[in-house]
Amino acid sequence: MKVAVIGLGYWGPNMVRNFSALEEVSDVMCYDVDGKRLKEITTKFPNVHAASSYEEIIKSDCDAVAIVTPISQHYDQAMKALQSGKHVLVEKPLAASAKQCEELVELADAQKRVLMVDHTFVYTGAVRKMKEIIERGDLGDIYYFDSVRVNLGMFQHDFNVLWDLAPHDLSIMDFILGRQPNAVSAIGVNHYNHMEDVAYLALHFDGNVIAHVHVNWLAPVKIRRILLGGSKKMIVYDDMEPSEKVKVYDTGVKVVSREGIYRTLVEYRTGDMFAPKIDHTEALNIVVRDFLRAIRTGDEPVADGRSGHRVVRILEAAEQSIRNAGALVHL
Amino acid sequence: MKVAVIGLGYWGPNMVRNFSALEEVSDVMCYDVDGKRLKEITTKFPNVHAASSYEEIIKSDCDAVAIVTPISQHYDQAMKALQSGKHVLVEKPLAASAKQCEELVELADAQKRVLMVDHTFVYTGAVRKMKEIIERGDLGDIYYFDSVRVNLGMFQHDFNVLWDLAPHDLSIMDFILGRQPNAVSAIGVNHYNHMEDVAYLALHFDGNVIAHVHVNWLAPVKIRRILLGGSKKMIVYDDMEPSEKVKVYDTGVKVVSREGIYRTLVEYRTGDMFAPKIDHTEALNIVVRDFLRAIRTGDEPVADGRSGHRVVRILEAAEQSIRNAGALVHL
Amino acid sequence: MKVAVIGLGYWGPNMVRNFSALEEVSDVMCYDVDGKRLKEITTKFPNVHAASSYEEIIKSDCDAVAIVTPISQHYDQAMKALQSGKHVLVEKPLAASAKQCEELVELADAQKRVLMVDHTFVYTGAVRKMKEIIERGDLGDIYYFDSVRVNLGMFQHDFNVLWDLAPHDLSIMDFILGRQPNAVSAIGVNHYNHMEDVAYLALHFDGNVIAHVHVNWLAPVKIRRILLGGSKKMIVYDDMEPSEKVKVYDTGVKVVSREGIYRTLVEYRTGDMFAPKIDHTEALNIVVRDFLRAIRTGDEPVADGRSGHRVVRILEAAEQSIRNAGALVHL
Amino acid sequence: MKVAVIGLGYWGPNMVRNFSALEEVSDVMCYDVDGKRLKEITTKFPNVHAASSYEEIIKSDCDAVAIVTPISQHYDQAMKALQSGKHVLVEKPLAASAKQCEELVELADAQKRVLMVDHTFVYTGAVRKMKEIIERGDLGDIYYFDSVRVNLGMFQHDFNVLWDLAPHDLSIMDFILGRQPNAVSAIGVNHYNHMEDVAYLALHFDGNVIAHVHVNWLAPVKIRRILLGGSKKMIVYDDMEPSEKVKVYDTGVKVVSREGIYRTLVEYRTGDMFAPKIDHTEALNIVVRDFLRAIRTGDEPVADGRSGHRVVRILEAAEQSIRNAGALVHL
Query: Got the DSSP string for B40-51?
Result: HHHHHSTTEEE-
Q: Which residues of B touch D (CB under 8 A)?
A: 243-244, 250, 270-277
Q: Do C195 and D264 touch (CB under 8 A)?
A: yes
Which residue, among B120, B102, B251, B98, has the nearest Cα to B175 in the 3D structure? B120
Counting one residue from A and one from C, how many pairs have CB atoms under 8 Å apart? 28
Q: Which residue of A has its CA nearest to D20?
A: A44
Q: Do C275 and A271 touch (CB under 8 A)?
A: no
**Backbone torsion region of residue A164, taken as left when φ is above 0, otherwise alpha when ψ lies between -120 and 50, otherwise beta:** alpha
CA–CA min distance A122, chain C (Å): 21
Q: Do D240 and A242 touch (CB under 8 A)?
A: yes
- Mean per-residue pLDDT of chain C: 94
B270 band by pLDDT with thresholds 50, 70 and 90:
confident
Chain B neighbors of C224, CB-CB under 8 A: none
A257 band by pLDDT with thresholds 50, 70 and 90:
low
User: Does the predicted interface ipTM exceed a cut of 0.90?
Assistant: yes
| pLDDT of A264 over the 70 cut | no
Q: Which residues of D touch B (CB under 8 A)?
A: 243-244, 250, 270-277
Q: D288 and D135 in contact (C-beta within 8 Å)?
A: no
In terms of pLDDT, which residue wins out, A44 or B164? B164
Substitution target in A236, A244, A248 with the highest count of C β-carbons within 10 Å is A244
Nearest Cβ partner for C189 among D210, D221, D327:
D210
- The rounded distance, in Å, linking the Cα atoms of C115 and B43 is 32
Q: Which residue of C has its CA nearest to D157?
A: C263
- The rounded distance, in Å, linking the Cα atoms of C210 and C212 is 7
Q: Do C234 and D212 touch (CB under 8 A)?
A: no
B151 band by pLDDT with thresholds 50, 70 and 90:
very high
Q: Which is it for the CA torsion B91, B95, B101, B107, positive or negative?
A: negative
* Longest distance between any two alpha carbons in chain B, whole Å: 75
Counting one residue from B and one from D, how many pairs have CB atoms under 8 Å apart? 28
Q: Which residue of D has its CA nearest to C263?
A: D157
Chain B neighbors of C46, CB-CB under 8 A: 46-47
Q: B220 and B176 in contact (C-beta within 8 Å)?
A: no
Q: C128 and C139 in contact (C-beta within 8 Å)?
A: no
Query: For chain C, which chains pass the contact test of at least 3 CB pairs under 8 Å?
Result: A, B, D
| pLDDT of B258 over the 70 cut | no
Helix ranges, chain A (H): 12-20, 35-44, 54-59, 71-83, 98-111, 125-135, 161-177, 283-297, 305-323
| pLDDT of C126 over the 90 cut | yes
pLDDT of residue C157: 66
Q: Do A266 and B192 touch (CB under 8 A)?
A: yes
Chain D neighbors of A41, CB-CB under 8 A: none
Chain D neighbors of B275, CB-CB under 8 A: 272-275
Which residue, among A109, D31, A273, D48, has the nearest Cα to C243 in the 3D structure? A273
pLDDT of residue B46: 75
Query: For chain A, which chains pass the contact test of at least 3 CB pairs under 8 Å?
Result: B, C, D
Q: Which amino acid is at C87?
A: H
Nearest Cβ partner for A46 among D46, D222, D240:
D46
**Model pLDDT for residues D119-142, shown as the tens digit of each residue:** 999 999 999 999 999 999 999 999
| pLDDT of B319 over the 80 cut | yes
pLDDT of residue C180: 96
SS3 D195: coil
Query: For chain B, which chains pass the contact test of at least 3 CB pairs under 8 Å?
Result: A, C, D
| pLDDT of B267 over the 90 cut | no
C63 band by pLDDT with thresholds 50, 70 and 90:
very high
Substitution target in A241, A274, A278, A279 with the highest count of C β-carbons within 10 Å is A274
pLDDT of residue B260: 53
Per the document, the length of chain B is 331
Q: Do C274 and A270 touch (CB under 8 A)?
A: no
pLDDT of residue A61: 96
Nearest Cβ partner for B277 among D244, D270, D277:
D270
pLDDT of residue C323: 95
pLDDT of residue D252: 82
Q: A150 and A220 in contact (C-beta within 8 Å)?
A: no
pLDDT of residue C257: 62
- The rounded distance, in Å, linking the Cα atoms of B291 and B308 is 14
C43 band by pLDDT with thresholds 50, 70 and 90:
confident
Mean pLDDT of A134-147: 97
Q: Which residues of C touch B (CB under 8 A)?
A: 46, 222, 240, 242
Chain D neighbors of A47, CB-CB under 8 A: 46
Phi/psi for B65 (5° steps) reads -125, 135
Per the document, the length of chain C is 331
Nearest Cβ partner for C328 among D148, D189, D325:
D325
Nearest Cβ partner for B277 among D243, D272, D275:
D272
Chain D neighbors of C210, CB-CB under 8 A: 187, 189, 198
Q: Do C272 and A275 touch (CB under 8 A)?
A: yes
Percent of chain B whose pLDDT exceeds 90: 87
Mean pLDDT of A141-158: 88
Distances (CA, A) of B163 to B6, B169, B215: 20, 11, 10
Substitution target in A148, A161, A221, A262 with the highest count of B β-carbons within 10 Å is A221
pLDDT of residue B259: 56
Nearest Cβ partner for B274 among D243, D270, D272:
D272
CA–CA min distance D147, chain A (Å): 21
Which residue, among C14, C48, C1, C45, has the nearest Cα to C29 in the 3D structure? C48
pLDDT of residue B156: 67
CA–CA min distance A243, chain D (Å): 9
Q: Which is it for the CA torsion A238, A239, A240, A241, positive or negative?
A: positive
A253 band by pLDDT with thresholds 50, 70 and 90:
confident
Q: C72 and C96 in contact (C-beta within 8 Å)?
A: yes
- The rounded distance, in Å, linking the Cα atoms of B136 and A176 is 46
Q: Which residue of B has its CA nearest to C46?
A: B46
Q: Which residue of D has its CA nearest to A223?
A: D242
In terms of pLDDT, which residue wins out, B204 or C261? B204
| pLDDT of C261 over the 60 cut | no
**Following DSSP, what letter does each residue of D79-109 receive, concatenated?**
HHHHHTT-EEEEESSS-SSHHHHHHHHHHHH
- The rounded distance, in Å, linking the Cα atoms of C163 and B331 is 63
Q: Which residue of C has its CA nearest to B21?
A: C44
Substitution target in C273, C274, C280 with the highest count of A β-carbons within 10 Å is C273
pLDDT of residue D268: 78
Substitution target in C20, C41, C44, C238 with the highest count of B β-carbons within 10 Å is C44
In terms of pLDDT, which residue wins out, C142 or C256? C142
Q: In chain D, which residues have pLDDT < 70?
A: 154, 156-157, 256-266
- Mean per-residue pLDDT of chain B: 94
C270 band by pLDDT with thresholds 50, 70 and 90:
confident
Substitution target in B250, B272, B278, B279 with the highest count of D β-carbons within 10 Å is B272
pLDDT of residue D263: 53
Q: Do B275 and D271 touch (CB under 8 A)?
A: no
Q: Which residues of D touch A (CB under 8 A)?
A: 46-47, 222, 240, 242
Chain B neighbors of A263, CB-CB under 8 A: 157, 193
A270 band by pLDDT with thresholds 50, 70 and 90:
confident
Out of B190-199, C174-183, C293-302, which region has the weakest mean confidence (pLDDT)?
B190-199
Domain annotation for chain A: domains and CATH numbers: 2-119+284-302 (3.40.50.720), 122-281+313-330 (3.30.360.10)
